[in-house]
Amino acid sequence: MQHTEQLVSSIAGTSLEKYVRPPFGAYDAKVVRVLVNNGYEIILWNRDTRDWEETTSVDDIVRVAGRESAPGDIILMHNVGFRTAEALPKVLAALPARPVPVRASTVSEVLGR
């Protein structure tokens, strides 16, 4: 893990945050032990856009991530989602227009760190 961290940090030009989202949100005691022993924290989501499903529309993604989200929500979206790239600008435009404005932020900001 440390070699990968150093390599990614050197390429990115910054240190990495120590957060992990396990694929599918699946993990067990062994995964937790390895991550904790290496200084990582598991972070999950509370809003799933289901952008990985071919039948999920841009409007579905905007509804879940933009219009229905609330401050502090962690929204799951994928860089390989079927319509994520098309939906993202609309999601970001919808956030400040909500009755309680919401803004995009980092996991560290959401956790108050």
pLDDT in tens, 44-102: 999 999 999 999 999 999 999 988 888 899 999 999 999 999 999 999 998 888 788 88
List pLDDT tens digits, range 11-31: 999 888 899 999 999 999 999
Judge residue 32's burial from the number of C-beta atoms within 10 Å of its C-beta, 0-12 exposed, 13-18 middle, 19 or more buried. middle
Q: Where are the domains of the chain?
A: 1-44, 45-106
* DSSP class per residue in 54-110: TT--HHHHHIIIIIS--TT--EE--TT-SSHHHHHHHHHHHGGGSSS------HHHH
